[in-house]
Amino acid sequence: MAMTLPTAQEPTMNDVVFPPAAAPLDQPSPASLSLQCRQRLQSSAPPSTARPRQSLSFHLHPCQGPEDLAAACAVRAEAYGRRLPDWRQALAEADALDLAPETLVLLCRDKASGRAVGTARMQFSHQGPLMLEASVELPAHLRQQARAEVTRLAVMPDADAQVRLALMKATWLVAEARGLRWLVIGARRAALIRIYQRIGFANVWSDDHWVPLAHAGQLPHRILSLDVAHIRREWAHRDHPLLGFMTGTDHPDIDLQTPALPASAWPLAA
């Protein structure tokens, strides 16, 4: 059962710590995406020696196999299950989109304990329509350009406050490296909408436009988008408090160079 939910916690602005565009790729084949993404990530950022380095309390990386994906699902079930207990079991299991060859599932693990503390999933428009597009037709300026939907964003209640922000940085870096123009996301709770807006997402429609999403139990969501190609310039123009974290700091614990291992390459269970 496929369901996409915003984070289940009731966030406040204090939940996110705010520390003080590349040319599009040619339409790559699915087999070349991981390599091209890593090459763009390596080439687009200034040398790490020119930027401060910040160590995080967790590692962030693409899921590498069934153990990682099971850990991501456990985070989803715990985070969403607190408010949506009827969905806990479904969220505890991977769905078809998780196992699709070009879906990217990111996982955060606490360094001290090894425990999974956060996750997010990216679906890319070269795979076909995004999940939310089964419920609503996006405006032409979004629909006609390369885009990705961020779903299954989940953070454990006791996780480091920077887990959510690191996941957002990672999704933006991947989108920029792949030459995407837009990130889109659905959110229900006002506090979470404000967090996304502060990061740089904007309403696709008006403030009072809510879309019931079929893959989220028909619950109404606000749809927001981030202009991947121009947000770096916007952050700089506004001297945004995110600028340093997102573009001016090297985070070696955000490891996007390691290629995601597709489900077809996972070892078979004994």
| Tokens (6 digits) for 30 | 């699915």
- The structural domain count of the chain equals 1
List of E strands, 188-230: 202-203, 211-213, 219-227
CA dist 108 and 118 (Å) reads 5
Helix axes 30-44, 162-177, angle to 10 degrees: 110
Domain that holds residue 143: 47-251
Q: Is residue 164 part of a domain?
A: yes
Contact 37, 30 (CB under 8 A): no
Q: Is residue 260 part of a domain?
A: no
Residue 182: what are its φ and ψ, rounded to 5°?
-135, 145
| Tokens (6 digits) for 227 | 């202009």
Q: Is residue 8 part of a domain?
A: no
**DSSP-derived 3-state class of residue 44:** helix
Q: Is residue 267 part of a domain?
A: no
Q: Is residue 268 part of a domain?
A: no
pLDDT in tens, the chain (270 residues): 344 443 444 343 334 444 433 333 334 434 334 555 555 555 455 554 578 999 999 999 999 899 999 999 999 999 988 877 888 898 999 999 999 888 999 999 999 999 999 999 999 998 889 999 999 999 999 999 999 999 999 999 999 999 999 999 999 999 999 999 999 999 988 888 999 999 999 999 987 889 888 877 788 999 999 999 999 999 999 999 989 999 999 999 999 987 666 665 555 443
Burial class (CB in 10 A: 0-12, 13-18, 19+), 20: exposed
Residue 181 belongs to a domain with what CATH number?
3.40.630.30
Contact 250, 54 (CB under 8 A): yes
CA dist 169 and 37 (Å) reads 15
